[in-house]
Chains A and B, each alone.
Chain A
């Protein structure tokens, strides 16, 4: 790996114009900062530099220095004389230095790119019409810019394996592979699962798994994302949808507190795939394979699609009215969820205030993989703390609730999607207690519930989560929810106003954020929802620094480093 440079900036001459760039950046990135694209295949900002595709060849020169005196050599007009490197150099492996001159648009550079483009295509099958990468293929893109338009190659193309199974989720077409080695470097450097390599040599080099191994780690689909061509494709997404039909929505992965930034690709109300979205503070360009399958729960069989009272379908108003009767002058317990958004948890806290309800919440924990699957398997545990719903670090069960129920302290429970019966709450303790269930999917608790109010998944609504490093991140609605259902925030604000008619809490995200930032000593002070849409915002989490957070150190997360 090339050592990163210092943070200060230097001035380089980019195509005749002096520009300032951070020192230590390479020329591909430096040029991009000033709107010049240097085409590349093998270079990836978050992987080591291989320099093998040669697409980013550019002309480079540095100010000449006199060998004896070390003084700068000047032209007749007093400007520093530039010693141009006789051969083109690769931008990805050339770090900027003060006074460096770069040509990214010269004839030599254009000729280089055209040459490389032609070489990449001579043994390429050119099967774009049946290739799943079409539409998001770098070869297509740069062929438009630097392609010859006709072929000078009249020989036979090399034949390589097609439709190889690299692992349970990744399919490989070796004929399309341009041997950029991004997938190999990703497996070695990020996934730390070194299973890919090249066999054979020269133009017969072939990407494959090591004998007896397969690409089955939980990050394998990232190789598909970074593959610049159609060689690696997702076995799940293959042939499902042409990518240019897909609508892309910014969202956040709900799998764990890592809060990977994702893009949800949908068409006509159906999600087709989830891909990571680059965020160098959180997840770089990666996400887990397991997080990519979460959209499948949207159309799951146990999805709750209509409100019901005692198991029979009713209208939403009727269900709400029934629920209201169960709160009125009753001792209410609210079981919140770390899977709810920050805004929902805030409204839920307000609901608890209005009904003087007792608050309960549990966490969901698992193994930490040290990358992007953290031990806290909920997206918003810190949101529960920041919103004021939870005062203590949630335990992994609801045994406290069970004790309260056994003492007969509660008449009505409002459950936010959790299954009480797998949270150390006995079915017997629940007898004599009315349950109002708000959730997306049916479970044992929803079957016991008197009132079921279906809610929306994270793909069907907007909101924000607070991740393991106290980054507040917004997710936006990608698809509409099932017909007739209203957002969780609307349900909660209706419930609040039914209990407390004077409440002016609106389900509108902007207004909730105004209300949240007004709370005394709130770390959300000064932040609005539109700020979150611009990017990740880190908040002061020092208030909770003594809590026993379960996350271990991982990609962009250091539990020892105190927040702000």
Chain B
């Protein structure tokens, strides 16, 4: 009887707390003028009356931009995209228009376009929304891009786990072909380009563009060495190739709609357009949110947009751009100078959500996967979890990544199983430093950065594991 009572009161108090907290955040929002979501890409994502069929897309003005673009010269589209300043949404943030400029057009070889839909960065789930809910937007963006770069053939490389997504895309492509939006003589123009879906087989490394190309060629997805294999020169089948992220390609449609200059006014200079942020972890309302770049800060995102942390919890750390980005500690101060010379002094809440903000804070916005961790999280276990992921996903081609990442995993696993040593923190750092910058592809950094940041910022937690090996938190999960 007593226990029941206790549970009941507890529930009520929790609910009250919850209510109060949300109310607080609403008041906060009104008083602080929090930016509103600006949905361009995900405009129809949560519209119950919107379906992923072509009829619905056409009713909302779909494929009008493709029609318009086909009347332009291909270079003119490239110019617009360059003017828009849109940066790649896959993680590296390289200007897309610039990437197109690198294409080797003199070789006489066919040019290929590949859409990188191998969204597999832990904490990222934006491309999935586009593919599942608005596939025609992607197809239109791709066909405009294909025309702009004069691609012979376009591919969508979709991760294995999106089997439903692949089906949706297959159907959408056949719908688009029926209406003449892709395939032979698109919209009765001279331009023809087919669109092919290729499903991955379940490897994270296939998201690396040259690994993706190898996989698409039917080989092991071992990333290629650069130089000489820059995709824009020696890509798919040794032909010039452009690989762009799903969100980037969708943006091309909107750039054509708004015009490059108008698009460039969205967001901030050098951080143009909108970005989809995927918030996960211990916040009240995790999910995807599309904002103009730099329209809000990390704190506003967590406390206002995502409803803050669960009651009674406090913020411990945030990973701002997918698991490979460096972790940010809640009580850190970030000071320094931006590229334009403005000085900044930020707490974690003040970091602007764009490309340059998290970068200035020593991390990166990466693929936009914000992972929030409150004080209940055992940072050593979180580290062990991340290491387990990267050790499983290393392709094994080059030495530092192959050997180093599994070594780090073995160490963190041992630490979590109650066999920590005080020197492990330094060893982990040293191993990570021996990987960073010495690998064939960026996977080395992706795997080294979490370890470097977790160990240096939560060093005491690692040391504590050695001093108190039987800490009850250690029993929480097995990695």
Which of B227, B393, B438, B439: most chain A CB closer than 10 A? B438
Q: Which one, A54, A88, A200, A204, contacts B399 given CB within 8 A?
A: A54
Is there a chain B Cβ closer than 8 Å to A6's Cβ? no
CB distance from A185 to the nearest CB of B (A): 12
Is there a chain B Cβ closer than 8 Å to A209's Cβ? no
B407 touches A93 (CB 8 A): no
What residues of chain B lie closer than 8 Å to A112, measured between beta carbons?
438
In the bound complex, CA of A93 to CA of B400 (Å): 17
Is there a chain A Cβ closer than 8 Å to B350's Cβ? no
Is there a chain B Cβ closer than 8 Å to A554's Cβ? no
Is there a chain B Cβ closer than 8 Å to A514's Cβ? no
Residues 352-401 of B at the A interface (beta carbon under 8 Å): 391-400
In the bound complex, CA of A328 to CA of B394 (Å): 81
Residues 196-212 of A at the B interface (beta carbon under 8 Å): 197-198, 200-205
What residues of chain A lie closer than 8 Å to B405, measured between beta carbons?
202-203
B439 touches A123 (CB 8 A): no
Interface string of A45-68 (1 = CB under 8 A from B): 000011111110100000000000
Instruction: Return the chain B residue nearest A94 by Cβ.
Output: B227
A205 touches B396 (CB 8 A): yes
Interface string of B225-241 (1 = CB under 8 A from A): 10110000000000000
Residues 85-105 of B at the A interface (beta carbon under 8 Å): none
A53 touches B402 (CB 8 A): no
Q: Which one, A93, A153, A158, A197, contacts B225 given CB within 8 A?
A: A93
In the bound complex, CA of A57 to CA of B439 (Å): 10
Say which size band chain A's interface belongs to: 35 or more
CB distance from B69 to the nearest CB of A (A): 31
CB distance from B324 to the nearest CB of A (A): 16
Which of A54, A90, A152, A179: most chain B CB closer than 10 A? A54
Q: Which one, A52, A55, A57, A120, contacts B397 given CB within 8 A?
A: A52
Is there a chain A Cβ closer than 8 Å to B29's Cβ? no
Is there a chain B Cβ closer than 8 Å to A17's Cβ? no
Q: Which one, B402, B421, B437, contacts A203 given CB within 8 A?
A: B402
What residues of chain A lie closer than 8 Å to B404, measured between beta carbons?
119
Q: A93-B228, A201-B203, A202-B406 are in contact. Are A155 and B414 (CB under 8 A)?
A: yes
What residues of chain B lie closer than 8 Å to A152, measured between beta carbons?
427, 430
CB distance from A182 to the nearest CB of B (A): 14
Is there a chain A Cβ closer than 8 Å to B160's Cβ? no
B396 touches A122 (CB 8 A): no
A203 touches B400 (CB 8 A): no
CB distance from B384 to the nearest CB of A (A): 13
In the bound complex, CA of A158 to CA of B440 (Å): 23
What residues of chain A lie closer than 8 Å to B407, measured between beta carbons?
119, 122, 153, 155
Instruction: Return the chain B residue nearest A111 by Cβ.
Output: B434
Is there a chain A Cβ closer than 8 Å to B313's Cβ? no
Q: A49-B225, A179-B402 are in contact. Are A119 and B434 (CB under 8 A)?
A: yes
Q: A2-B228, A122-B407, A203-B406 are in contact. Are A54 and B400 (CB under 8 A)?
A: yes
Residues 1-30 of A at the B interface (beta carbon under 8 Å): 2
Interface string of B166-190 (1 = CB under 8 A from A): 0000000000000000000000000
Is there a chain B Cβ closer than 8 Å to A407's Cβ? no
In the bound complex, CA of A528 to CA of B132 (Å): 79
Is there a chain B Cβ closer than 8 Å to A178's Cβ? yes
A198 touches B399 (CB 8 A): no
A203 touches B394 (CB 8 A): yes
CB distance from A177 to the nearest CB of B (A): 11
In the bound complex, CA of A119 to CA of B396 (Å): 12
Q: A51-B440, A93-B227, A153-B407 are in contact. Are A202 and B391 (CB under 8 A)?
A: yes
A116 touches B392 (CB 8 A): no
A156 touches B438 (CB 8 A): no
Interface string of A148-171 (1 = CB under 8 A from B): 000011111010000000000000
In the bound complex, CA of A2 to CA of B225 (Å): 11
Is there a chain A Cβ closer than 8 Å to B403's Cβ? yes
Is there a chain B Cβ closer than 8 Å to A87's Cβ? yes
A115 touches B434 (CB 8 A): yes
What residues of chain A lie closer than 8 Å to B402, measured between beta carbons?
119, 179, 202-203, 205
Interface string of A197-232 (1 = CB under 8 A from B): 110111111000000000000000000000000000
What residues of chain A lie closer than 8 Å to B440, measured between beta carbons?
51-52, 54
Is there a chain B Cβ closer than 8 Å to A255's Cβ? no
CB distance from B388 to the nearest CB of A (A): 11
Q: A93-B227, A205-B396 are in contact. Are A87 and B414 (CB under 8 A)?
A: no
In the bound complex, CA of A288 to CA of B394 (Å): 37
What residues of chain A lie closer than 8 Å to B11, measured between beta carbons?
none
Instruction: Return the chain A residue nearest B436 by Cβ.
Output: A87
Q: A51-B225, A93-B227, A202-B394 are in contact. Are A122 and B438 (CB under 8 A)?
A: no
A202 touches B438 (CB 8 A): no
Is there a chain B Cβ closer than 8 Å to A118's Cβ? yes
In the bound complex, CA of A152 to CA of B398 (Å): 21
B403 touches A57 (CB 8 A): no
Residues 465-493 of A at the B interface (beta carbon under 8 Å): none
Which of B393, B400, B405, B439: most chain A CB closer than 10 A? B400
CB distance from B441 to the nearest CB of A (A): 11
CB distance from B211 to the nearest CB of A (A): 11
B395 touches A201 (CB 8 A): yes
What residues of chain A lie closer than 8 Å to B400, measured between beta carbons?
54, 115-116, 119
What residues of chain A lie closer than 8 Å to B393, measured between beta carbons?
201-202
Is there a chain A Cβ closer than 8 Å to B411's Cβ? yes
In the bound complex, CA of A203 to CA of B396 (Å): 6
Residues 423-479 of B at the A interface (beta carbon under 8 Å): 427, 430, 434, 437-440
Q: Which one, B225, B392, B396, contacts A198 given CB within 8 A?
A: B396
B410 touches A155 (CB 8 A): yes
Is there a chain A Cβ closer than 8 Å to B220's Cβ? yes
CB distance from B466 to the nearest CB of A (A): 13
CB distance from B474 to the nearest CB of A (A): 18
Interface string of A81-121 (1 = CB under 8 A from B): 00000111010011000000000000000001001101110
B227 touches A88 (CB 8 A): no
What residues of chain A lie closer than 8 Å to B434, measured between beta carbons?
115-116, 118-119
Instruction: Return the chain A residue nearest B397 by Cβ.
Output: A52
Instruction: Return the chain B residue nearest A123 by Cβ.
Output: B403
Instruction: Return the chain B residue nearest A53 by Cβ.
Output: B399
Q: Which one, A87, A88, A156, A198, contacts B220 given CB within 8 A?
A: A198
CB distance from B207 to the nearest CB of A (A): 14
B398 touches A52 (CB 8 A): yes
In the bound complex, CA of A197 to CA of B222 (Å): 12
CB distance from B434 to the nearest CB of A (A): 4
Instruction: Return the chain B residue nearest A152 by Cβ.
Output: B427
CB distance from A121 to the nearest CB of B (A): 9
B439 touches A155 (CB 8 A): no
In the bound complex, CA of A87 to CA of B448 (Å): 15
B394 touches A201 (CB 8 A): yes
Which of B227, B391, B399, B411: most chain A CB closer than 10 A? B399
Interface string of B201-218 (1 = CB under 8 A from A): 001000000000000000
Given pairs A112-B438, A118-B434, A197-B220, 10 additional interface contacts (CB within 8 A): A54-B439, A57-B438, A93-B228, A119-B434, A122-B407, A152-B430, A155-B410, A179-B399, A202-B396, A205-B397
Closest 5 CB pairs of A and B: A115-B434, A205-B396, A119-B403, A155-B410, A203-B406
25 A-B pairs within 8 Å (CB atoms) are namely A51-B225, A52-B397, A52-B399, A52-B440, A53-B399, A54-B438, A54-B439, A54-B440, A88-B438, A90-B225, A93-B225, A93-B227, A115-B400, A115-B438, A116-B434, A119-B403, A119-B407, A122-B403, A152-B430, A154-B421, A155-B411, A179-B402, A203-B403, A203-B406, A204-B396
